[in-house]
A and B are shown apart, each in its own frame.
Chain A
Amino acid sequence: MAQEGPVDLEEEVIDTNYKLWNFLGGAYSMEIKPGSNKLSYSESSINMVVKIMNNTTSEGAQLPAVVETQEDIW
């Protein structure tokens, strides 16, 4: 039986796509789909990882004045 009460939280750095996918729910990610008011399993964690891959960049990166491709925000 699960023990109730305070738990020790471990801090983990997200530095891989796998960890990011798990952070967003992994295989068990859920969403409320339009027209429904119930949470159901979805592919949202996969889509969100791609969205983040496409839009983030590493700290201190020197970006060109105009960002046109994913290569520009490596």
Chain B
Amino acid sequence: MDADDGACYSNPFYQILQNNSLGGARVGLIKKTFTHFYDEKTGTAGIFKDAEFPLTNEWIRRSTRYQKMMRNMTDRIWRNQDGTPAVVDITTDYKGNPIEFINPNCTRQGQLFYKDPIDGNCYAFWIKKGS
């Protein structure tokens, strides 16, 4: 375990969802977590406060530690409410409309781009459906 001097790290997806749920009261992504708890059997209680940082791509690129954190936080199989693995079509939304994968500003003639972390080159990729 590493000491982080009062900081903790959180799942970035969760942080954005939490902010979305706040509507007009949305806040920044970096938060101050304040928790209080007590145990009625032993009569003990605790309180803690720390700074909560959602992982970002920029941090993950710079550290294997953050890479491992991201995997541990998010590599969980999607499941239905009954616990069975969920089959999800990520190319369409729940209404059947196609999902736009990247901001239109990031495409050229309908192509999407990504950067290969190994050789550093930029490549286009396509999503093939129904194969």
What is the interface of chain A, defined by CB distance below 8 A to chain B? 2, 14-21, 24-34, 39, 41-61, 63, 67, 70, 73-74
A54 to B17, CA, bound (A): 8
A42 to B77, CA, bound (A): 26
Q: Given B80, B81, B114, which contacts A30 in the complex, CB threshold below 8 Å?
A: B114
Q: Does B90 contact A (CB under 8 A)?
A: yes
Residues of A within 8 A of B103 (CB): 31, 44
* Number of residues from B at the complex interface, CB < 8 A: 42
What is the interface of chain B, defined by CB distance below 8 A to chain A? 12-13, 16-17, 20, 56-58, 60-61, 67, 70-71, 74-78, 80-81, 85-90, 92-94, 99, 101-103, 105-106, 113-117, 119, 122
Known pairs A24-B102, A39-B115. 6 more at Cβ < 8 A? A15-B85, A17-B74, A19-B75, A21-B74, A27-B58, A30-B115
Q: How many A-B residue pairs have CB under 8 A?
A: 128
